[in-house]
Chains A and B, each alone.
Chain A
């Protein structure tokens, strides 16, 4: 299997999330303006600033994200500020979920979560999959995990 990218629509989900985050973050500034501590332009500047950062992060995040199922491991490459590359040996997979949150359902997307017994990388989430893609991936990982046959995954 070659390196897989996420579905482009996941950017919309992330951008939406960035908008919400920007709103929440600039709320205190707006309150400060309301009570007259800050000039009129402050909330707008803060909001736009947060939004730009969030949207930029979402786009870069999409560009960075990739995953690949290799012969004996699931390999993920992601992260904007801290780049993280995780290798999850198929033998170590404990169970696999495919899940769809409300926003994901709205965008017609789903994600797949892989659990291992590890502590730091205990659950690895692959977002931005189509619903059928997510359940296919789940089935595939399950099959590969069984095939890899870890007698004692801990």
Chain B
């Protein structure tokens, strides 16, 4: 497929516009004639136009059976294949100019890489929509193991039914504008202002302290007003016409007044949900929801990363929406120990002290009688602030999610599915050690965590923190095991459809048995000693479950046979002996008749059984599955 032809002049103009501005500047300031500069501009335009034409001619994308292929590049060629299963989200955006000439930009994000992986610069809007739909359809087709070709017989337009989850009302839009406040301008002006303050004061030698204070108050007020108007305008145009809907297993959003954004997020790729509010929103009963995936890369900043944020909605509505995406139940947060409030008191008191010091220094430097001791009044607010900080912290362990809560001015509740945890970090600063507390961070691959806003349980008692850390690790392993079981079960159903019925009968209940036993051990484990029995235990059971599968199919991906030597306690421990395989040689292939099998299956140190299976295939009714159930049963009694 090709890009839209309109994209050639648009891209050329986009690139040249900056150069032209510089040229005009030069032409007006130097003695270069208008004709000459116009000539130069035309020449540049011609060159860039030629380049863009070549770019257009050499850019091609194609939706194949299981990858999206993009080949591009004029001078250095690049061919890229993105598997559908790895695509995190698809975003389409159209600025005013792009809408006028009828093009749209499509961005496909995967978790890897440092920038947008598939950036298709300018196709027609209809094509953009088609791309998005096709990617989703083919993705769900690959996920369910069907061939994309099989489904393509149906009409491509017929996707899953779209069900609207949220549409912003004018009232809410007005509220978004009113409540958003762009603090960046204040920061910038304060930074500039602090530099010019001594200069200003030298201009106003006769001004009294009172007049100065009034001027400062007015200036600050104006600053706030301007920031507020700016923030309101920006968020109004960002969230104009916001709409979130659900279609099958993906979320779709649409928003924007000047620049129109739309896109899709697969629900299975959601890393973290964040529900944030501030005192104003809390008082009015509103909150914000943002959905994070692993797609956006660092440095893409700005609007990215929270594209699908529901800007504002009633709190109950926000929770309802969040549960729609990740059913986390109703949380009840555990707070840090009460004594930790003293820590915050000390911290804030020190901060007030520093502020006093600065005020005193400024007063001394400017040599005008300013009321430098005024910040001392803040000391009165310290206990309340400490209490509020403590009150808004907390964490909660749900069935499948960790929820954390932090912050008073900008409170955020984060819900992380255990299955999404990447690693667990327990950190204790010098000060935290004095209070015998620790912070536990559950790191995910989400984007916002890059700016340091991971889900964190802050300032919990060390003993509790250590328990939480282990618990999180355990629950991750349990979630992984469950996910694995789900997949095994899935393969089974798949098999039953086309396999012969007589052979399937026997093994069917066998797997079911082992799967159930497996799930039970998983659940049991939560209460008991965390690390020791861990994943290897589940692994052991899992291996057996998969074994029946592999044996019948004639051995394929799961060569992890039952002949892994299991010690008495049934716990398969990782083997730390290095394998003696020479990696400079390709792996030996064995022809099993159906297809070739690597002699070193995935190099995991597990016995492969491709050849002995050939000689003596496991009879379907042997005691293999029962053995599993027995073993796990024994184990459970042991644990009890």
Contact = CB atoms under 8 A, between A and B. Distances in A.
Interface in A22-76: 69-73
Contacts of A71: 531-532, 534-536, 573-574
A117 B449 contact: no
B629 interface: no
A85 B425 contact: yes
A94 to B, nearest CB: 9
A70 B427 contact: no
B604 A146 contact: yes
Interface stretch (B40-48, B234-242, B480-488): B480-488
A83 B603 contact: no
B578 A136 contact: yes
A86 B444 contact: no
A87 B148 CA distance: 39
B449 A81 contact: no
B574 A118 contact: no
A73 B473 contact: yes
Contacts of A119: 422, 443-447, 449-450, 454
**Chain B CB within 10 Å — which of A69, A70, A86, A120 has the most?**
A120
Interface string B583-608: 00000000000000000001111100
Interface in A97-154: 116-121, 124, 136, 139-140, 142-144, 146-151, 154
B604 A83 contact: no
The bracket for how many chain A residues form the interface is 35 or more
B631 interface: no
B426 interface: yes
A114 B427 CA distance: 19
Contacts of B532: 71
A91 interface: yes
B195 interface: no
B18 interface: no
A151 B428 CA distance: 33
A146 B433 contact: no
Contacts of A151: 483-484, 487
A85 B439 CA distance: 10
Contacts of A73: 473, 531, 534
Nearest to A80: B430
Contacts of B473: 72-73, 87, 89
Given A89-B477, A116-B422, A83 B445 contact: no
A86 B483 contact: no
A87 B578 contact: no
Nearest to A88: B423
Contacts of A79: 427
B576 A118 contact: no
Contacts of B447: 119
Given A119-B446, A120-B452, A143-B605, A85 B469 contact: yes
Given A72-B534, A148-B535, A118 B604 contact: no
A117 B445 contact: yes
Contact of A86 (B423, B446, B602): B423
A84 interface: yes
B429 A82 contact: yes
B579 interface: yes
Contacts of B106: none
A116 B476 CA distance: 15
A90 B535 CA distance: 10
B103 interface: no
Contacts of A146: 602-604
Interface string B501-521: 000000000000000000000
B639 to A, nearest CB: 16
A82 B429 CA distance: 4
B426 A72 contact: no
B111 A117 contact: yes
A143 B574 CA distance: 9
B422 A117 contact: yes
Given A71-B574, A136-B578, A87 B428 contact: no
A136 B449 CA distance: 32
Contacts of B441: 120
Interface in B540-584: 573-574, 576, 578-579
A7 B424 CA distance: 26
A147 B559 CA distance: 12
B298 to A, nearest CB: 8
A82 B441 CA distance: 14
Contacts of B425: 84-87, 120-121
Nearest to A150: B480
Contacts of B531: 70-73
A121 B576 CA distance: 25
Contacts of A89: 421-423, 473, 476-477, 480, 535
A139 B578 contact: yes
Contacts of B452: 120
Given A71-B574, A72-B473, A147-B574, A121 B602 contact: no
A117 B269 CA distance: 13
A20 B321 CA distance: 55
Nearest to A121: B423
Interface string B98-114: 00000000000001000
A92 B443 CA distance: 11
6 contacts: A72-B477, A89-B422, A91-B476, A118-B422, A154-B269, A154-B445
Interface of A: 1, 69-73, 79, 81-92, 116-121, 124, 136, 139-140, 142-144, 146-151, 154
Given A73-B473, A119-B447, 9 more contacts: A70-B531, A71-B535, A72-B535, A119-B443, A120-B454, A143-B604, A146-B603, A147-B604, A147-B605
